[in-house]
Amino acid sequence: MKTDTIFYRLFQSFPSIFFELINQAPTEALGYQFASVEVKQLAYRIDIDIDGVFLPKTTTTQQPIYFVEVEFQGDSQLYARFFSEIFLYLDQTELSNDWRGVVIYPSRNVENQDTQQYQELLDSPRVSRIYLDELAEISAPSVGIATVQLIVTEQEAAIALAQDLIQRTTEEIENERQRTEFLELIETILVYKLPKLSRTEIEAMFSLSDLRQTKVYQEALAEGKLEGIQEGRLEGKIQAKLESIPRLLALGLTVEQVAQALELEVEQVTKVVQESTDS
């Protein structure tokens, strides 16, 4: 999965999630902007995975600069580059703010254990290491944290978590623009995480909560990629829906939910189930 793209979108659109991850108040995000930066004289980018730097919006020195890196592959040289890039940036910038470094791993197993050269920094309050698989220990996580959890959830459990997250998003996020962005992000995660699911099947999951206005769905509709949606293709539309029924049932949806998602009669879905059983 393209975790660099996912996290960049996540922190750019919802910076409050980052501050939740580091146990700060989500409102802290109001004082920051998330961006990629470049040390101009050296053309040396803060760039390992996601170009991630949270810069204070004001000139006050009380707010630290946050350097963020996401590492999902395992890199023995990550800390060498991470700290050298931080110090190069601090040397070149006119900002006099304090700084913090945050490294995000899917689990402790991915982190390089040979850290002796950097141990004092890693043990200091300046550096935080976050292991996403341990977020499951958080009771009643926010929608934002639950979205991060979805990224590292095993495929078998991802569908149920996504369905719960979709429902929570529609109920808890009142701002229409933010709600749409969250839903698009969830959908993108599913597309990358569950490559064996067809677009129709993923969209059917979303339609259960009237989410057919998401960007991914609308683009697919405009390009004619959803089977049988365009006028004049009624036969192909029905056939595509009928073929999706067994797979949607296998995802854990009930007969009634499948019928609602595919805009079919319950009797049509029941008939396909019966024919499948008889064969």
Segments making up each domain of the chain, as ranges: 3-152, 202-278
Please write the tens of the pLDDT for every residue from 12-25: 889 999 999 999 99
pLDDT exceeds cutoff 50 at 53: yes
What is the rounded CA–CA span in Å between residue 273 and residue 277?
A: 6
Which of the two residues, 125 and 209, has the higher pLDDT score? 125
Least confident of 46-55, 167-176, 181-190: 46-55
| CA torsion angle 224 230 236 241 (round to 10) | 80
Give residue 222's pLDDT.
Answer: 52
In sequence order, the 6+-apart residues with CB closer than 8 A to the CB of 157 are: none
Tens-digit pLDDT profile for residues 99-126: 999 999 999 999 988 899 999 999 999 9
Q: Extract the tokens encoding 201.
A: 């099947």
d(CA 248, CA 201): 7
Residue 199: pLDDT band (50, 70, 90) is low
Band (148; pLDDT cuts 50, 70, 90): very high
Q: Do strands 99-105 and 65-70 pair parallel, antiparallel, or not at all (unpaired)?
A: parallel
- Winning range, highest mean pLDDT, from 78-92, 112-126, 199-213, 232-246: 112-126
- Whether pLDDT at 212 is above 70: no
Give the pLDDT score at 38.
Answer: 61
**pTM > 0.85: yes or no:** no
